[in-house]
Amino acid sequence: MSTLRIGLVSVSDRASSGVYQDKGIPALESWLASALTTPFMFETRLIPDEQLVIEQTLCELVDEMGCHLVFTTGGTGPARRDVTPDATLAVADRQMPGFGEQMRQISLHFVPTAILSRQVGVIRKQALILNLPGQPKSIQETLEGVKSADGTVLIPGIFASVPYCIQLMEGPYVETNPAVVAAFRPKSAIRSSES
């Protein structure tokens, strides 16, 4: 069975130039370590808000490093320097609009300015590329969803659909820790742990 390869890209002018510590990649590494129960490996990149650099980085992670899943963090708003979605769309083979819609739906639960986010989800070759917010708290909410005080999921997070999406693209079979996020797939697509 092939190991899940995950690209993590933090897009920030200031963090990439050392002005402050990047928080996006550590937040993603920590969350994925708690959420995934199947073997995985990371490829991480900290880059400036430059569309060409973002495009080249996404292409490298997918085309050369063979990533099945790539998360970007940062650069998704309306500011002139926020070009992560533009770069993501520029390298896409196909769009997956449901991911952007759901990310905004989750964020709207917390802030009205969620409608300003331009996050997108796309497919390039064998990989799913998703734009996440820049703040660690928002990253977790986007991936896990909105939960009530007793842990009941009120608005599903986007990661519940990621394992099945990767499976449909003939990538590795990904399993999750249901206490963090339960992977959803149709009964016909569920494999027993013996297989």
Q: Give the tens place of pLDDT for each residue, 123-177.
A: 999 999 999 999 999 999 999 999 899 988 899 999 999 999 999 999 999 999 9
- Strand-pairing partners, residue 11, are 47
| φ, ψ of residue 127 in degrees (nearest 5) | -120, 145
Question: What are the residues whose beta carbons fall under 8 Å from the beta carbon of 118, sequence distance 6 or more?
Answer: 76, 77, 78, 82, 85, 100, 131
- Where do we find the tokens 């331009």? 118
40 token code pair? 């995985």
27-32: average pLDDT: 97
Intra-chain end-to-end CA distance of the chain, in Å: 11
Q: How far apart are CA 9 and CA 6, in angstroms?
A: 10
Residue boundaries of the structural domains of the chain = 4-189
133 token code pair? 């917010």
| pLDDT at residue 194, as a whole number | 44
> Which fold does the domain 4-189 belong to in CATH?
Molybdenum Cofactor Biosythetic Enzyme; Chain A (3.40.980)
Cβ proximity of 11 and 49 under 8 Å: yes
Q: Give the tens place of pLDDT for each residue, 51-72.
A: 999 999 999 999 999 999 999 9
The H or E element spanning position 55 is helix 51-59
Q: Considering only CA atoms, which of 125, 165, 162, 167 is closest in space to residue 36?
A: 162
Q: Would you place residue 74 in the very low, low, confident or very high pLDDT band (cuts 50, 70, 90)?
A: very high
Cβ proximity of 43 and 60 under 8 Å: no
Hey, CA dihedral for 12, 16, 21, 26, is it positive or negative? positive
| pLDDT at residue 135, as a whole number | 92
Report whether pLDDT(16) > 90: no
120 token code pair? 């997108």
Q: How much is the pTM? A: 0.95
What is the pLDDT of the chain when averaged over all its residues? 94
Angle between helices 24-35 and 136-144 (to 10 degrees): 30
| pLDDT at residue 120, as a whole number | 98
16-43: average pLDDT: 95
